[in-house]
Amino acid sequence: MDALIAAPNPRTSRGRRDRTFLLFLARTGARVSEATGVNANDLQLERSHPQVLLRGKGRRDRVIPIPQDLARALTALLAEHGIANHEPRPIFIGARNERLTRFVATHIVRRAVAQAVTIRPTLAQKPISPHIFRHSLAMKLLQSGVDLLTIQAWLGHAQVATTHRYAAADVEMMRKGLEKAGVSGDLGVRFRPNDAVLQLLNSI
């Protein structure tokens, strides 16, 4: 995630927008449609605990906390485009000031992957899409001890069963970790010496 977020060129307007968009996906776990649908008046950046209103599926809106690095990036992006906090204007826009589409959002991620591969070649072997940022945050929350109901509310899942998939994936990752570390607990079949071996051992 860090390599992808750092990939866009911060010296260009497009690069700063791309980095902020990737950071938004990574820190909020928003769906692409939720991220591109955010307006300036959905943000509360001036309070001590910044937050954003995400408009989810089935009109299930939810408020998500925003960490300080994302709050700073969003504040700078709004200032660069001359957008006030209270305006109902999209914060992620294209060259013609239009709201980003899903196609453009996917292209931003692919462009970041292409740039990050030069530093992290292993990224070329991974299936990376905008949704991977959502999965990554969910796993990070789970591994940090956040309960499933909180993660469910955070991601906007209608049912906790959907969130439970992350717990199942986490257990599977742990199991593979045990296998990789050689901690299988399998002692094999216990050796049973025959009479000849016992006589030899007794004579030693």
Q: Are strands 61-65 and 51-55 parallel, antiparallel or unpaired?
A: antiparallel
Q: Please check whether residue 4 is in contact with residue 113, taking contact to mean a CB–CB distance below 8 angstroms.
A: yes
What is the third-level CATH fold of 2-128?
hpI Integrase; Chain A (1.10.443)
Q: Mention every residue, 6+ apart, whose C-beta is less than 8 A from residue 5.
A: 19, 22, 23, 26, 112
52 three-class SS: strand
% of the chain at pLDDT higher than 70: 75
Select from 39, 90, 45 the least CA-distant residue to 67: 45
Lowest mean pLDDT among 44-58, 143-157, 179-193: 179-193
Domain boundaries, the chain: 2-128
pLDDT at site 136: 85
The 10s digit of each residue's pLDDT in 86-101 is 899 999 999 888 999 9
Per the DSSP assignment, residues forming a β-bridge with 93 are 99
Confidence at residue 47, expressed as pLDDT on a 0 to 100 scale: 78
pLDDT at 34 over 90: yes
pTM of the model: 0.76
| pLDDT at residue number 10 | 94
Indicate the pLDDT class of residue 21, thresholds 50, 70 and 90.
very high
- Asked if pLDDT for residue 183 goes beyond 50, the answer is no
The chain-wide mean pLDDT, for the chain, equals 80
Enzyme catalytic residues: 31, 57, 131, 134
Spatial contact of 168 and 148, defined as CB atoms under 8 Å apart: no
Which segment of 1-5, 33-37, 76-80, 134-138 scores lowest on mean pLDDT?
134-138
The pair of structure tokens assigned to 82 is 């001359």
